[in-house]
Structure 1
Amino acid sequence: MITMKKALVVLTNTPAYGATNHPTGLWLGEATEFVSEMAKANIPVDYVSPKGGFVPLDPRSMKYVTAPIMSVYKQPDFIKRALTSTLQPSQVDPNDYQAIYYAGGHGVMWDFPNNVELQAIAAKIYQAGGYITAVCHGVAGLLNIRDTQGNYLIAGKKITGFTTAEEILAGKKSSVPFLNKTEVEKRGGNFVKKRAYKEFVVQDGQFITGQNPFSAQAVAKKLIQAIGS
C-alpha cells in the first residue's frame, strides 16, 4: 500500500480582535470537521501556526459544537498537536504534503495574510502539484501567496470565503481589519459566494475554498476527491 502524503492544517495564534480585549481564535469546527474527513480517507495531518505552540479557540465557536466536533476535540492527539504544540513554519518540509488547509476563525485575519514563511510553504506545495485549500476566514492565508514571477496565485481564480453579508450578520463588520471579498478582488481573484451561512465550496484548479463554517467538511471531501482522481 502506498502511503499518501500528508495534509498541513494551518491554525491561528491570535487570541483577540486586534488590540481589543474581545476574544477570538480558531473556529473549532473548521479544524475538527476537516481533520475527521482526512482520518476517514487515511490521510495524515500535521498542524502549524504562524508562531507555533498554543492555538486559542474562538469562544463563539463553542456554541456550535456537535457530537462529531467533540469526538475530535477530546482526542489527546488533537489537544496536543493542534491546540497546544503546533509546529512552527520553520519545522515544516513542504515536500511532505499534498495539500495545505487554512482553517478560519476571525483571529486569522491578523496573523495569516503577512506570514511569508507560510506563504513559501503553500507556494512550494502548489508548485509540486498539491492543493491550496481554505474555509471561511482562512482565505486570508491565500491573499499574498505569489508564484515564482511574483504574481498573486489567486489572480484569475474563483475563490470564496466569509462574505460581507455574513460579517454583518455576525456583528463583526466593524471589528475586522478587512473584508475578504475586497482583498481577493484587489489581487485579481474572482470572489464567488452563495447565500449566507449555507454550505458552499468552489474548486478552481488546485484551489479549493469554502465560504463559511458550514463548508469545512465539504472542502475536505472535495480535496479527497481531487487527490484520488
Structure 2
Amino acid sequence: MRVSLFVTCLADVMYPQVGESVVRLLTRYGCEVDFPEQQTCCGQPAFNSGYQDEAREVARNMIRAFEHSDYVVSPSGSCTGMVHHFYPYLFEDEPEWKAKAEALVGKIYEFSQFVVKVLGVKDLDAVFTEKVTYHPSCHAMRLLGVKEEPLELLSNVRGLEFVNLAHKEDCCGFGGTFAVKMADMSEAMVCEKAKNVTETGATVLVGTDMGCLMNIDGRLNKEGKPIRVMHLAELLEKGVIANERASK
C-alpha cells in the first residue's frame, strides 16, 4: 500500500519525531511511505483569518503535491479536517479544481483513522506501563468524526492504565489564530484543561493534534506540572519498541 505523509507545519518545524513515528509505524504494517516535498501549509491559518484567495492558492499547491498519491496520512485531525471540509468549498466556482479537491478528500486520513479503518489494525503489540489520559481534539472529533479510533488503539496497549479526562470534549483554547485573536479567552480555556488533566493523576497526556498538545503542554510547563505530553503515534511506537525489547 502506497502512502504519502502529510506532515503538517507544526510537526515539520517543532515536532519532527511525530512524523517519524508515523512513518515507522506505517512501514511496519507494509506501507510504502513517501514524502512529497512540494507540500506546505494546508492553508487553515489564512482561511480562518478571512484570506480565502490566499488559502485557495495554498490549497492548489497541496492538491498538486498529493495528486498522484494513493493514500495521504497526517498526524493532525485539524489539518486533515481543513482539507475535508473546506477545500471543496474554496473551489465551488471552479469545477475542475473542485473535482481535484474532492479526490484528495477521498484519500486523506488522520493517522489513527487510517490505522484502524483502512489498515484494520487495532492492536499494535505495544507495551506502555504508565497512567495515561487522552484529549480529543475538536477538529478530529467534530470535523472528521474521529472518536473511537484513538481509544481503540490505546485500549490494546498492554500495561497502560487509562484514566478518563473530565470534560474531555471541551476545547483546549488553541484554535490556531483564535489563541492570538482572543488571547484572554484562550488562556482561560487552557487553564481549565490543564487543571482537568492534572486532576486525573496521569503521568502522560496523549492526543492526535500537535496544536492542542503544544498549547496544553505549554500551560502544564508554566505551572510546573510533571506531566509528559505525547502524540498518539509517539506513544504507540515507544510501546512497540518496548515490547520487542522485552521479547528478546
Tell me the TM-score range normalised by the shorter chain: 0.3 to 0.5
With normalisation by structure 1, the TM-score equals 0.35
With normalisation by structure 2, the TM-score equals 0.33
